[in-house]
Structure 1
Amino acid sequence: MHALQKCLLFTAVTCLIQNALGSEIINGKKADEKFMQYMASVQNNKIHTCGGFLVSEDFVMTAAHCAVKKLKSLSVVLGTHDLKKANKKMRYGVKMMCRHPAFKEVANGNDIMLLKLSKKVSLGGKKPIKLIPLPIQQLNLKEKKICSVAGWGPTEPRKHRSGYVNELQVLDVPIINKDECQKVWGQIPKNVICAGGYKAKSGICQGDSGGPLICNKLAVGIVSFNNDNGCNYPDVPNVYTDISQFLPWITDILKKKKCKG
């Protein structure tokens, strides 16, 4: 393919992605309160903006494009699936945003960020908060493997611009062959996983990026982007950051408790 054609293709894909960040759960179901207790609501000025998930006592993982300009406006809610029930004890300040240094925009990949909380999370109790484990090596997920994704975004396609739901929604999604995903999109980053939204009536949508793609009880992906078509599936595959591609970077931050310089 000539350089100009590549440029035009990249521009077209970027346009599809613009304003298409996030994961409203379309045609999912309400999550059981006894499960997914690692889920986090990442909030700007106490308004839900992205999903996330707890990976250590003082770090939440989310998407890099969820970063905000003013750190003091950022907070994380843990310990509830119903955002209406969130209280002061469930809200944690954010001390540091560790966005992957190679991230520029979602079309280029590297859409991953760790948020260092202002205090450690107390694990256990009547309504326990739990960690979700990460992969320990690079993964090669089999096509059609059923995984799950969760978020607080709207549950109906026509409402994809009108805010979020209060109760966490969860959805099963099949892994999509990477070559097929590349063919349908035209161009996708190398360090991603494709799952759901394609040849199906359900998937993710605008409004709640950063949530986990869960396979075999591991957080293997981070919701990154989809196509901005109003979430009327079937559509192009949904795209997630492949966490297993960033393990040295993640391990370094969790060990040193600070962003890698």
Structure 2
Amino acid sequence: MFRILLISALVALSMGAVPRGLPIRPMLDGRIVGGEDADIKDLPYQLSLQSDGWHICGASILSPTRAVTAAHCIYGASESTEFTVRAGSSFRGSGGQISKVLRIYQHPAYNPSNFDYDVAVLAIEELTFGTGVAAISLHKPNEELAVGTEGTISGWGTLSSGGSAADHLQVVKVPKVSDDYCQAAYGSITPRMTCHGYEEGGKDSCQGDSGGPNVANNELVGIVSWGRGCASAGYPGVYTKVADPEINEYITYHM
């Protein structure tokens, strides 16, 4: 099911861009780069998006029947029934609630060559809200975070680029950088993207964190998308910008 995803990832790799999903079934044991163990009770909107029981990406709860992830996490999938989400557990492989993905709404303008419009809404079997399971509000359209605002990134991604991934949920905080800084780093940033990270590197999202949340002021401000390596100096993480009017409208329409 991931043949097309792998092809698009190879195209991206040739340009130095690395999607932050896990399109294959690796042996997993590590964490977000520079992060620490987290409790799902503190991040109740966090989901593990799984294929045949294997964690491939993160996602965020929007309502009992809707979640949001990155388009590249499900790009090329033949049908939604291949996917489930795990909610309410700090561990990607056990506990919590398992919900089937019933339908996928991938943004029609998603571009796998540069990860523009990297967003997909998932219709899921209804979750029971409670301890460790809750929705996150969306950042309002056209609202800009101030440079330096910390975003909280969480997921079961890798310790380093190409490394192994976490069994226990990890969390890290990284500041927003200016659009000019990000554009200078990559030269391919679109209005649908926003960047968080440290100039010196050291803390970041990584492979396996794709589709997961970037939260500031109790709102979903970004969706983990791509970057050059992970936590590399001079290359912040790139996130789908929830406040972009086109992204925000698409998510809201399918809620």
Name stretches of at least 5 consecutive residues in structure 2 with no aligned partner.
1-10, 23-30
> Whole-Å Cα distance in 1 between the matches of residues 84 and 13 of structure 2?
32
| Between structures 1 and 2, the one with greater helix share | 1
Deviations 1:192-236 (A, max 9, x none): 1110153231112223200111110101100000113xx363241
Please give the TM-score of this superposition, normalised by the length of structure 1: 0.82
CA distance in 1, matches of 2:93, 2:50: 13
Correspondence 1:153 to 2:160: no
- Once the 2 structures are TM-superposed, how far is the Cα of residue 137 of structure 1 from its aligned partner? 2.8
> Which deviates the most, 206-215 or 174-183?
206-215
Secondary structure in 2 matching 1:85: coil
Residue 16 (structure 2) aligns with: 16
Match of 1:40 among 40, 43, 47: 47
Residue type at the aligned position of 1:55: L
Whichever of the two has the greater Rg, that structure is 1
Indicate which of 72, 82, 91 corresponds to 1:82: 91
* 5+ long unaligned stretches in structure 1: 1-10, 255-261
Query: Are 1:54 and 1:131, in contact at CA under 8 Å, matched by a contact in 2?
Result: yes
Q: Give the 3 Å change call, closer, same or farther, for CA 14–109 of structure 1 in structure 2.
A: farther
Contact persistence 2:57–2:208 (CA under 8 A):
yes
State the 1:162 CA deviation.
4.8
Q: Distance in 1 between matches of 2:231 and 2:250?
A: 36
Q: Which runs of 4+ in 1 moved over 4 A?
A: 11-14
In 1, the alpha carbon distance for the partners of 2:42 and 2:228 equals 29
CA–CA separation in structure 1 for the residues paired with 2:234 and 2:208? 17
Q: CA deviation at 1:153?
A: 1.2
User: Which structure 2 residues correspond to residues 91-130 of structure 1 after superposition, within 5 A?
Assistant: 91-105=98-112, 107-117=114-124, 119-124=125-130, 127-130=131-134
Question: CA 1:240–1:26 in 2, change beyond 3 Å: closer, same or farther?
Answer: same
Q: Provide Cα deviations, 1:106-165, integer angstroms capped at 9, x if missing partner.
A: 615100000100x211112xx34111111233221111111210110122x2xx435421
Q: What residue number does 2:4 align with?
A: none
1:108 & 1:33 partners in 2: Cα distance?
28
Q: What is the CA–CA distance in structure 2 between the aligned matches of 1:29 and 1:215, rounded to whole Å?
A: 18
Alpha carbons of structure 1 residues 83 and 105: separation in structure 2 relative to 1, 3 Å: same
The separation in 2 between residues aligned to 1:97 and 1:58, in whole angstroms, is 12
Amino acid at match of 1:212: P
Residue of structure 2 equivalent to 1:6: none
Letter in 1 for 2:133: I
Aligned partner of 2:144 among 137, 140, 146: 140
Task: Name the structure 2 match of 1:233.
Answer: 232
Distance 1:145 1:185 in 2: 21
Q: How far did residue 187 of structure 1 move?
A: 1.8
Instruction: Find the counterpart in structure 2 of residue 183 from structure 1.
Output: 184
Whole-Å Cα distance in 2 between the matches of residues 110 and 232 of structure 1?
Answer: 23
Task: Kindly indicate whether residue 31 of structure 2 is the aligned counterpart of residue 27 of structure 1.
Answer: no
- Structure 2 counterpart of 1:242, which letter? K
Q: Distance in 2 between matches of 1:12 and 1:45?
A: 25
- The equivalent of 1:7 in structure 2 is none
Cα separation, partners in 2 of 1:81 and 1:108, compared to 1, 3 Å: closer
Q: 1:197 to 1:223 in 2, by over 3 A?
A: farther
1: distance between equivalents of 2:101 and 2:13? 33
Cα separation, 2, equivalents of 1:48 and 1:152: 8
Q: 1:63 aligns with which of 64, 70, 77?
A: 70
In 1, distance between residues paired with 2:115 and 2:174?
24
CA distance in 2, matches of 1:25, 1:80: 17
Kindly indicate whether the alpha-carbon contact (under 8 Å) linking 1:65 and 1:106 is maintained by their aligned counterparts in 2: no
Question: Contact between 2:211 and 2:224, CA under 8 Å: does it hold in 1?
Answer: yes
Contact 2:201–2:235 (Cα < 8 Å) also in 1: no
Distance apart, 1:176 and its partner CA: 0.4
